[in-house]
Amino acid sequence: MNGSPIASGAPASPPSPEPPVVATEHLVVRSRERVILNDVSLAFPDRDVTAIIGPSGCGKTTFIRTLNRMTEIGSGLMVRGRVLYRGQDIYARGVNPVIVRQRIGMVFQRPVVFPMSIFENVAFGLRINRVDEATVERTVESCLRRAGLWTEIGDDLDRSGLTLSGGQQQRLCIARALAVEPRVLLMDEPTASLDPVAAQKVESLLFELRQNYAVIIVTHNLQQAARVATRTAFLYEGRMIEFDETKRLFESPREKLTENYVTGRFG
């Protein structure tokens, strides 16, 4: 921190037409050694894209993983505060993380395709819920369509998913996440490992998805945040510095730190 003045993570919620679908209240995440997230309170509206930006190590990936309890998988992190999904605390006793993850899906930085056919990749979440075969086929098609893959590979679904290009793989992962019919889609730098053309395809997919889902996207590509997100939150050293409409955050930030970051003076 070097003694630089940092605004405290006061709850900040820009005006939004609907009640938030996901919100954090005084979220603190710590490992054995250090505090990773300190008192982060944010609210995410439904049917919209929200971006989380910040320099490497600011805790943005941890933050997004906290939102569907992926943090508990072998990380040994301790979570305090509340994460609300439509008003319910997902960390409350009696909440099944498996159900949480069905409501709040996730797409990772690198495309993670299962070593099985394209069809079975998309059908994965349906199979574990024992959905009947006709519904599976219908859902696979519709999800591949929504992910913009159907026209490219719709006639060759028995092929191994691993044979697809990187961009196609990432869109396959998105289709796979959609098949579970989540309300919220968490995306952890979904284009970071893709070439510009593929990244552009995924980005334009986000505009489609915002019609039906709350999308929370972590990115360190500021232009991407500016392009896709209605609202953007800036995280720095585990604290939420500023959360505002994207345009305002980039053009007239209230905090000096934010200004320095978005103008490229550090990060």
Partner 1 sequence: MSNGTNAPPSMNDSLSDGPKRRGRAVIGVGVAVAIAVVLLAAGFAGGYFLEKGLAPSGGSSTTSYTITETGSTLIYPYLNLLAPNFTSLYPNVAISPAGTGSGAGISGAEQGTVNMGGTDAYLLPSVAAQYNLINVPIAISSQLVFYNLPGLSVSHLNLNGTVLAMIWAGAISQWNNPLIQAANPGVSLPSTTITPLHRSDGSGDTFMFTSLCYLSWKGWSGGYGTTYSWKAGQPGYQGNSGMVTGLHSTPGGIAYIGISYLQSALADGLQYAALGDQAANVNGANPANYILPTPANISQDANLALQNLQPPSVAISLILGGVPGATNLVLGGGGTLPTAQYPTPYPDTNLEYILISTHPANPSLQKYVVVFLQWAISTGATAPRLASVNFLPLTPEVIGYDMQALSSVQVSA
Partner 2 sequence: MREVPEGQPIPPAGPAPAPPAVPFSASRTPLVQWLLSPIALIPLLLVAFVAIFLLWKSQLVWFGPSFFGINYFFDPTGLQPNQFGVTLFVVDSLIVALPALAIAAGLSLAMAVSIVVYLPPMPGRVLTILTNLLAGIPSVVYGIWGYVVLAPYFGSTVQPAIFGFLGWIPGLGGPLSPGGVGSLLAIFILIFMIVPITTAVMRESLRSVPHDLVEAGLALGATQWEVMRRIRLRVARRGLWGAAFLGLGRAIGESVAVAMVIGASVWIPPNVYAPSTTLASFIFYQLDSSFYYPVLLQALIEFSLVLLGLAVLLNLIGQRASGLGTTVVVTGGNGP
Which parts of this chain interact with partner 1 (CB under 8 A)? 31, 36, 56-62, 75, 109
Q: Which parts of 95-114 interact with partner 2 (CB under 8 A)?
A: 98-99, 101-102, 105-106, 108, 110, 112-114
Q: In sequence order, what DSSP letters do the residues of 26-89 get, joined into one string? A: EEEEE-SS-EEEEEEEEEEESSEEEEEE--TTSSHHHHHHHTTTGGGTT---EEEEEEEETTEE
Would you tell me how many other CB atoms lie within 10 Å of the CB of residue 141? 16
The residue from 38, 66, 68, 170 that contacts partner 2 (CB under 8 A) is 68
Which of partner 1, partner 2, none does residue 42 bind to, with CB < 5 to 8 Å depending on kind? Answer: none
The span from the CA of 169 to the CA of 151, in Å, is 14
Which of partner 1, partner 2, none does residue 62 bind to, with CB < 5 to 8 Å depending on kind? Answer: partner 1
Nearest approach in angstroms of CB 33 to partner 2 is 17
The span from the CA of 8 to the CA of 47, in Å, is 29
**Which CB sits closer to partner 2, 176 or 231?**
176
Nearest approach in angstroms of CB 104 to partner 2 is 9
**Which CB sits closer to partner 1, 43 or 199?**
199
List for the chain the helix, strand, coil content (%; round to 5).
Answer: 35, 25, 40
| Binding positions for partner 2, rule: CB under 8 A | 68, 70, 73-74, 98-99, 101-102, 105-106, 108, 110, 112-116, 124-125, 127-129, 162, 173, 176-177, 180
